[in-house]
Amino acid sequence: MLRNLLALLVTFLLVGCASNHDFRRTNTPAGEPDLVALKVASQSREGNAVSKSDLVSVYWLPLIHLGADGFKQERDEGFPSGGHSRGHLNAWGPLFFFVEGESWHWNTSDELYEREETFSLLWGCFRKRDLLVNTKLGWRRETTTRWLWLLGDDEIEYTPEPSTP
């Protein structure tokens, strides 16, 4: 009986996992994505007709944790084609009580031109979004904070040097 219960538990935990790439191997020591390593891993996947060159990792423990990572060549409307994007999402608690995510966008010259960080607590009662956009004069940071979906603040600040945030 105990053996069957253990087998059922292991099967239940493995059902919520799907991956074609380990993203921890393509991060810099600071935790930022390493674009060169991601592109190499993506090019090695191009022979696979199902996923093409997209890299995906999803792990899910029902009512406890959802983690999703992705990397793809940019094809979405509103973004320059030919670039690349990387996304990361972590959600904890029942029905995504706490959610944090990041996304990075690179142009065709492999320059980071946009980065977004999001944070949500209590199913969206508190939300914070930081959007960093690379301009000719440096980085522009747009911060949006919301309490109880209505109260909040919007801030815009500029960093004069065109360095990586």
First to last CA, the chain: 54
Instruction: Give domain status of residue 5, yes or no.
Output: no
Instruction: Give domain status of residue 7, yes or no.
Output: no
pLDDT of residue 83: 85
Low-confidence residues of the chain, pLDDT below 70?
1-20, 45-53, 76, 161-165
Instruction: Give domain status of residue 80, yes or no.
Output: yes
In whole angstroms, what is the distance from residue 48 CA to residue 55 CA? 11
Q: Is 106 left (phi over 0), alpha (psi -120 to 50) or beta?
A: beta
Q: Domain count of the chain?
A: 1
In whole angstroms, what is the distance from residue 73 CA to residue 94 CA? 33
pLDDT of residue 49: 47
Instruction: Give domain status of residue 38, yes or no.
Output: yes
Instruction: Give domain status of residue 12, yes or no.
Output: no
Instruction: Give domain status of residue 10, yes or no.
Output: no
Instruction: Give domain status of residue 165, yes or no.
Output: no
What is the per-residue DSSP string for 122-165? TTTTEEEEEEEEEETTEEEEEEEEEETTTEEEEEEEEESS----
32-46 pLDDT per residue, tens:
887 878 888 877 765
> What are the CA-CA distances from residue 65 to residues 15, 109, 117 (Å)?
14, 36, 19
pLDDT of residue 107: 87
Instruction: Give domain status of residue 9, yes or no.
Output: no
**Where in the sequence is the domain holding 106, given as residue range(s)?**
17-159
